[in-house]
Amino acid sequence: MKRLLALTAAAFISLPLTPAPAIATGTDPAIQSHGTPGAPGAGDPYFPDQGNGGYDAGHYDLSLDYEPSSGRLSGVARISARATQELSRFNLDLVSTLSVRSVTVDGRTASYTQGGSELVVTPARALGAGRGFSVVIRYDGRPVHVVDPDGSVDGWIKTSDGVYNANEPQGAMTWFPGNHHMTDKATHRFTVTVPSTRVAVANGDLVAKVPKGGRTTYVWDSREPMASYLATVSIGKFELADSRIGGYRVTTAVDPKLAGDAAGFPDRHPPVLDYFSSIFGPYPFSSTGGIVDHAPEVGYALETQTRPIYPRVPSESLLAHELAHQWFGDSVTPTLWRDIWLNEGFATYAEWLWADKLGTRTVQAAFDQAYATAAEDEFWQTPTADPGGPENLFHDPVYDRGAMTLHVLRREVGDDAFFAILRAWAGEHKYGNADTAAFIALSERVSGRQLDALFDAWLFKPGKPSL
Ligand SMILES: [Zn+2]
């Protein structure tokens, strides 16, 4: 997901992202004499300001303290990065509704400005190309979610007892500074302090839980590379369970309001993961699980890495969808947002496969049902491999036409080649990024077939392809 399930976006107040007046502090940027500024965006046409150029983030060590009653967050972000050019200054993505209090680069005070969604940092000295450096940013404020071009909300979404934190495509900038385009993956450590009446759940492995003076600090280690949009720090009155089941470390957090419906939730994971491992290759992460929040106002689930977040107890197909994303989306991530079908088409096809495995509905029946959409329906006008803009990022064709594309490919090349393609895609691009052209090239290489006509019709041309 995030295909909207029951959106009530009107209940939310939009956060304007118009630039705020710049505030300059610290040393004078005029003393810089070497290097050039890093680009303010990663070059993605759908979200031009997202991400930044001139450096590569390697690790985020985030210490966050959150008070749900006031909505106040104070944070320290310690970022390890490497300059990819001689760098006079660089940007991080952070909304300016959060106030930066200090920035150091390699322990020296750096000057900075904030405006819109950009934090611009000028180190005391230019950074040489290829050099590793560390940035420490202290900041605080009351985080607010963003409203996306399609009207959905993402980011730091407050709930009655905490935070539903889902960040696709642009919410990460609402709660921590970083290089927030999906092409700059990094490892993460989250040290989150909340009142002891609450639980803070993040990605990766729970490594410590330390109560002190009415507050509890949770430490989560996300050791495999992760794109920012897949990070989560969700907070609520959760029931936390952490155990080994069927060879997996399954860590779940369930809103007590949903405890009855969520009975057995941890045990539902291994069968799905075992099946997907058998067809996609080994599960790529050190732990799994999920966050089941009571958040009917949010309306979508998200495949947050290792531990998807759900606004209600997931159905079997939704669970399969989000777990399939761990291979397709999380481990292998698109290069540009327009390639989002590589996430959603694959996860939708995995839903079809899981239903077939359970005996609920065959893949062919799922395909036939989707293909029955009338030729004149608007559905067929969106080319799968470029839905046209950020407002269409999660439109139905990205999911259903994407899944149909995979089924047509399977029928064309046969089961052996098709599943070899999926395994090669997951294996060759593990923890990396890849685009539609790479998928086509891989499909042709593995199958030994020329597939231009098939992909042209199903991915690039508007209109209902004939069979
Ligand atoms: Zn999805």
Model pLDDT for residues 240-281, shown as the tens digit of each residue: 999 999 999 999 999 999 999 999 999 999 999 999 999 999
| Residue (of 335, 223, 329) closest to 285 by Cα position | 223
d(CA 50, CA 92): 9
**φ, ψ dihedrals at 273, nearest 5°:** -65, -35
Q: How confident is the model at residue 136 (pLDDT cuts 50, 70, 90)?
A: very high
Say yes or no to pLDDT of 12 above 50. Answer: no
d(CA 289, CA 252): 5
304 CA to centre of ligand 1 in angstroms: 10
425 CA to centre of ligand 1 in angstroms: 18
The first and second tokens of residue 210, run together, are: 């330390």
Burial of 398 (0-12, 13-18, 19+ CB in 10 A): buried
Place of tokens 């075992």: 274
54 CA to centre of ligand 1 in angstroms: 31
Give the dihedral sign, CA 328/78/181/95: positive
127 CA to centre of ligand 1 in angstroms: 39
The first and second tokens of residue 235, run together, are: 């907070």
120 CA to centre of ligand 1 in angstroms: 33
pLDDT at 34: 83
231 secondary structure, DSSP code: -
119 CA to centre of ligand 1 in angstroms: 30
Rg of the chain in Å (alpha carbons):
22
**In the predicted model, what is the mean pLDDT of residues 178-187?**
98
460 secondary structure, DSSP code: I
pTM of the model: 0.93
326 CA to centre of ligand 1 in angstroms: 10
Q: How confident is the model at residue 294 (pLDDT cuts 50, 70, 90)?
A: very high
Q: How confident is the model at residue 239 (pLDDT cuts 50, 70, 90)?
A: very high
d(CA 278, CA 354): 12
333 CA to centre of ligand 1 in angstroms: 12
Largest CA distance in the chain: 69
Place of tokens 């999906």: 182
Q: Give 338-378 pLDDT, tens digit per residue.
A: 999 999 999 999 999 999 999 999 999 999 999 999 999 99
**Strands laid side by side in the 239-245 sheet:** 239-245, 248-254, 288-292, 309-310
Place of tokens 């996430």: 343
d(CA 237, CA 254): 8
DSSP reduced 3-state for 44? coil
338 CA to centre of ligand 1 in angstroms: 14
pLDDT at 4: 60
23 CA to centre of ligand 1 in angstroms: 39
Q: Which amino acid is at 56?
A: D
